[in-house]
C-alpha cells in the first residue's frame, strides 16, 4: 500500500504540472542532475517529481492508510550564460507555485492538498549547457485510503 500511495501521488502531480509545462519537461523520477545529463541527455528546463516520504499517521483508525505523502519537485534550469539564470529559475518556481495554488483542495481518490509548500534554491554550478541551477519544491498531500 505504501509504494502504491506514493506512485499515485506522483502521477497526480505530474498530470497537474502537465497542464502548464510541456510533457517533455516533466519527469516522474528522482535522479540527480549530473546522472540525468550523462545517461539521458537532460533537457532544460526540467521538472523531476518524486515521493521522498510516506507517513501513515493512522489519523483515521479504521483506514488502511491515513496519513501524508511528501512530494518533491526538483526544478532545473541551465543556460550558456550566467546572466539571467536566477531570474529564469524564479519564474519557473513561480509557475510551479501557481500550479499548486490553482490545485488546492480535493484531488479525488482519497487525496487532498492543503496549499502549503516550501522552496529551497541551490547554488549555480557548472553543468548542463554551461551553468545550471536547481530549486526544490516540497509539499505534503493528505491521503485517506481503505
Domains of the chain: 2-133+140-145 (3.30.70)
Q: What is residue 2's predicted lDDT score, i.e. its pLDDT?
A: 75
Q: Residue 55 pairs with which residues in a beta bridge?
A: 68
* Backbone torsions φ then ψ of 66, nearest 5 degrees: -145, 95
Q: What is residue 116's predicted lDDT score, i.e. its pLDDT?
A: 97
Query: 10-residue block means of pLDDT along the chain (146 residues)?
Result: 89 97 92 73 89 94 94 96 94 98 97 98 90 96 95
C-alpha grid cell for residue 104? 488546492
CA distance 58 to 67: 6
Q: What is residue 36's predicted lDDT score, i.e. its pLDDT?
A: 74
Q: Residue 50 pairs with which residues in a beta bridge?
A: 72
- Segments in 19-109 forming alpha helices (H): 33-40, 85-102
> Which pTM does this prediction carry?
0.92
* CA distances (Å), origin 51, targets 54, 84, 90, 109, 137: 8, 30, 23, 17, 12
Q: What is residue 35's predicted lDDT score, i.e. its pLDDT?
A: 75
Amino acid at each position: 500500500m505504501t509504494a502504491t500511495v506514493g506512485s499515485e501521488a506522483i502521477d497526480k502531480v505530474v498530470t497537474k504540472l502537465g497542464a502548464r509545462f510541456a510533457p517533455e519537461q516533466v519527469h516522474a523520477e528522482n535522479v540527480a542532475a549530473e546522472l540525468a545529463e550523462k545517461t539521458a541527455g537532460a533537457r532544460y528546463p526540467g521538472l523531476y517529481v518524486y515521493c521522498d516520504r510516506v507517513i501513515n499517521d493512522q489519523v483515521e483508525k479504521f483506514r488502511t492508510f491515513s496519513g501524508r505523502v511528501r512530494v518533491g519537485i526538483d526544478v532545473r534550469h541551465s543556460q550558456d550564460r550566467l546572466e539571467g539564470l536566477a531570474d529564469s529559475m524564479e519564474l519557473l518556481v513561480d509557475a510551479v507555485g501557481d500550479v499548486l495554488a490553482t490545485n488546492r483542495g480535493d484531488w479525488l481518490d482519497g487525496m487532498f492538498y492543503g496549499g502549503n509548500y516550501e522552496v529551497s534554491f541551490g547554488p549555480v554550478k557548472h553543468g548542463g549547457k554551461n551553468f545550471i541551477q536547481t530549486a526544490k519544491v516540497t509539499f505534503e498531500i493528505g491521503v485517506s485510503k481503505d
